[in-house]
């Protein structure tokens, strides 16, 4: 069985606040374990890795013409 991680430890591992972690949980962005209604909430390492993967975005490749500045005319 995989080790369960509490809310505070999960927030510390992810580098986010408890409020942000709770918002992600309530919005369905992160999987959690809760044995009884209104009971303690736990997370698995796999769920934390999955959440990081969901929130990771690839950088957009920009061309030199995609700037907001006007190019100089020589």
Which pTM does this prediction carry? 0.73
Predicted local distance difference test score (pLDDT) of residue 34: 94
Burial 27-64 (b: 16+ CB within 10 A, else e): eeebebeeeeeeeebbbbeebbeebeeeeeeeeeeeee
Predicted local distance difference test score (pLDDT) of residue 61: 72
In a domain, 8, yes or no: yes
Predicted local distance difference test score (pLDDT) of residue 63: 66
In which residue ranges of the chain is pLDDT below 50? Answer: none
Predicted local distance difference test score (pLDDT) of residue 19: 96
Instruction: Report the alpha-carbon distance of residue 32 to residue 46 in Å, rounded.
Output: 10
Predicted local distance difference test score (pLDDT) of residue 65: 60
In a domain, 33, yes or no: yes
Predicted local distance difference test score (pLDDT) of residue 49: 95
- Domain housing 50: 4-55
Count of domains observed in the chain: 1
């Amino acid at each position: 069985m995989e080790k369960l991680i509490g809310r505070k430890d999960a927030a510390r591992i992810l580098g986010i606040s408890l409020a942000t972690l709770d918002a992600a949980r309530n919005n369905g962005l992160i999987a959690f374990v809760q044995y009884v209604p209104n009971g303690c909430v736990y997370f698995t390492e796999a769920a934390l890795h999955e959440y990081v993967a969901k929130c990771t975005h690839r950088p957009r490749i920009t061309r030199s013409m995609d700037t907001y500045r006007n190019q100089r005319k020589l």
